[in-house]
């Protein structure tokens, strides 16, 4: 007799970004050359001084359990860095270090939501948000934003989605998957609405440091007085320092929430990897020129991708202020035949692009926005160039 799965996991979808990346890896393992624009993972190696700090940590015997919510040195470095960059002070006990930002998001939701609570999420949204909200028993309320407004939620759209059950607003800036960035003024307008209602905010700021040109990142709790008690800020080292595999992220939360998240981790995972925590500490406290170098390279790729998309008739993509994704409108290219095969949806389009041209992307539907695909430019310029040449051949 087969074991029956729990009701809560029966309705859970696997991560589409990781699924597309796994497909690309499988194809590659079978001997194909694959141009992988699917997963959002920097192609750079973790900077040498960070790796060295991990080796030093092992040698110094930091190979045992740490406090479940993370080593105090790292929490202190996170809050000191936040104060230096954004001017707001947090006690170090407000910081909980988790196994990546994804885990920090899950635990934040799990510790604050009850079954039936509504969470407002502007679409296009990062694939895991809706699933993680559902895993917490709460209900994702998806608000469609407009491409003509750079996929930013307007105060009117936000207000219209609020009901007596609304408990949380989930915002990602700079955004995965659209690359948009909210200005301080835009965040202020949304914050006013938050403060007028009994709502709190999960602000995913993992792309804080990957910002291009004149764009400026503003951290949500800083835009109005009184937000610190209402906002959980999520961040981590995966993107900024090319440390996706090390699994270190964190939440900066009101102390009562942080305390419970620590207790949850003590039952659930214990501490995040001890050695990785020391590596993350070195990343935050060390020389930041490695970040500037990576950002400069991402900026070049962003310009290139923007130009390629602008030159494809019928495709469009809003200006990307940060992160490393292009979110491309392909509605004109659906309902057509490709090498004799009819393609009606963005999912079919992405799968066929992979099968015919060996270019891996992620379907817009996975981000709550059918009719688009997402291309990550966290891969080499050569890969990006070849991938776009192939996309052009595909649609021709
Ligand atoms: N938030 C966003 C918006 C992301 O794109 C990602 C991608 N990994 C995460 C959180 C999770 O990051 P981590 O690798 O630290 O779990
Ligand atoms: N966040 C990245 C992405 O969206 C990595 C994969 C994942 O964690 O979903 O592609």
Q: What is the mean pLDDT of residues 262-278?
A: 98
238 lines ligand 1 (CB under 6 A): yes
172 lines ligand 1 (CB under 6 A): yes
The residue out of 285, 305, 332 marking a domain boundary is 285
Residues 278 and 256 in one domain: yes
* Mean pLDDT score across all residues of the chain: 97
Q: What is the mean pLDDT of residues 382-390?
A: 98
174 lines ligand 1 (CB under 6 A): no
Q: Is the pLDDT of residue 380 over 90?
A: yes
Can you give the pLDDT at residue 13?
87
- Assigned domain for 1 exists: no
- Assigned domain for 2 exists: no
Can you give the pLDDT at residue 19?
86
The residue out of 222, 255, 285 marking a domain boundary is 285
Cα distance between residue 161 and residue 199, in whole Å = 12
Residues 32 and 176 in one domain: no
The residue out of 285, 311, 344 marking a domain boundary is 285
Residues 91 and 158 in one domain: yes
Helix (H, G, I), strand (E, B) or coil at 225: coil
Residue 194: band (very low, low, confident or very high) from pLDDT cuts 50, 70, 90:
very high
Residue 104: band (very low, low, confident or very high) from pLDDT cuts 50, 70, 90:
very high
Atom of ligand 1 nearest to the CA of 126: 3
Q: What are the phi and psi torsion angles at 336 (to 5°)?
A: -130, 165
- Within a 10 A sphere around the Cβ of 330, how many other Cβ atoms? 23
The full 3-state SS of 294-360, as one line of letters, equals HHHHHHHHHHHHHHHHHCCCCCECCCCCECCEEEEECHHHCCEEECCEEECCHHHHHHHHHHHHCEE
Residues 240 and 103 in one domain: yes
**125 lies in which domain range?**
48-285
8, 116, 264, 306 from 136: Cα distances, Å: 9, 10, 13, 37
Q: What is the mean pLDDT of residues 291-318?
A: 96
Cα of 386 to ligand 2 centre, how many Å? Answer: 22
List the CATH number of the domain containing 162: 3.40.640.10
Residues 41 and 53 in one domain: no
Can you give the pLDDT at residue 1?
86
Q: What is the mean pLDDT of residues 284-303?
A: 97
Residues 101 and 183 in one domain: yes
CB-count exposure of residue 296 (10 Å: 0-12, 13-18, 19+): exposed
Residue with CA at minimum distance from ligand 1 atom 5:
176
Residues 144 and 255 in one domain: yes
Can you give the pLDDT at residue 123?
98
Q: Report the DSSP beta bridge partners of residue 325.
A: 376
Helix (H, G, I), strand (E, B) or coil at 169: strand
Q: Is the pLDDT of residue 339 over 90?
A: no
Cα of 67 to ligand 2 centre, how many Å? Answer: 27
Q: What tokens were used for 2?
A: 């087969």
Query: Ligand 1, from 70, 97, 172, 206: best to mutate by most atoms within 8 Å of Cβ?
Result: 206
Q: Write out the H or E segment, with its range, that includes residue 130.
A: helix 128-135
Q: Is the pLDDT of residue 244 over 90?
A: yes
List the CATH number of the domain containing 323: 3.90.1150.10
């Amino acid at each position: 007799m087969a074991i029956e799965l729990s009701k809560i996991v029966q309705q859970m979808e696997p991560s589409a970004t990781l699924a597309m990346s796994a497909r690309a890896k499988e194809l590659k393992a079978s001997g194909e050359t694959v141009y992988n624009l699917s997963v959002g993972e920097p192609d750079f190696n973790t900077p040498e001084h960070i790796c060295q700090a991990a080796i030093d940590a092992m040698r110094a015997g930091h190979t045992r359990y740490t406090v479940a919510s993370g080593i105090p040195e790292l929490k202190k470095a996170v809050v000191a860095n936040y104060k230096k960059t954004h001017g707001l002070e947090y006690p170090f006990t407000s910081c909980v270090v988790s196994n990546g930002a994804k885990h920090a998001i899950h635990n934040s939701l799990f510790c604050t939501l009850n079954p039936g609570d509504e969470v407002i999420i502007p679409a296009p949204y990062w694939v895991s948000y809706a699933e993680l909200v559902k895993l917490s028993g709460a209900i994702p309320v998806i608000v469609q934003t407009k491409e003509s407004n750079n996929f930013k939620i307007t105060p009117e759209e936000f207000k219209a989605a609020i009901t007596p059950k609304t408990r949380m607003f989930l915002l990602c800036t700079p955004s995965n998957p659209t690359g948009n960035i909210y200005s301080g003024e835009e965040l202020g307008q949304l914050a006013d609405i938050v403060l007028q209602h009994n709502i709190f905010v999960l602000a995913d700021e993992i792309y804080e440091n990957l910002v291009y040109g004149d764009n400026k990142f503003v951290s949500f709790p800083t835009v109005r007085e009184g937000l610190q008690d209402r906002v959980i800020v999520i961040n981590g080292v995966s993107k900024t320092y090319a440390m996706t595999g090390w699994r270190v992220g964190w939440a900066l939360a009101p102390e009562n929430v942080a305390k419970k998240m620590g207790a949850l981790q003590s039952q659930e995972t214990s501490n995040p990897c001890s050695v990785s925590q020391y590596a993350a500490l070195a990343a935050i406290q060390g020389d930041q020129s490695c970040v500037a170098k990576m950002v400069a390279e991402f900026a070049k790729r962003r310009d290139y991708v923007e130009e390629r998309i602008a030159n494809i008739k019928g495709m469009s993509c809003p200006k990307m202020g940060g992160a490393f994704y292009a979110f491309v409108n392909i509605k004109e290219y659906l309902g057509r035949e490709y090498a004799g095969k009819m393609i009606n949806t963005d999912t079919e389009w992405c799968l066929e692009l992979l099968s015919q041209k060996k270019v891996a992307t992620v379907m817009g539907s996975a981000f709550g926005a059918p009719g688009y695909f997402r291309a990550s430019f966290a891969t080499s310029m050569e890969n990006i160039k070849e991938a776009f040449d192939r996309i052009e051949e595909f649609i021709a």
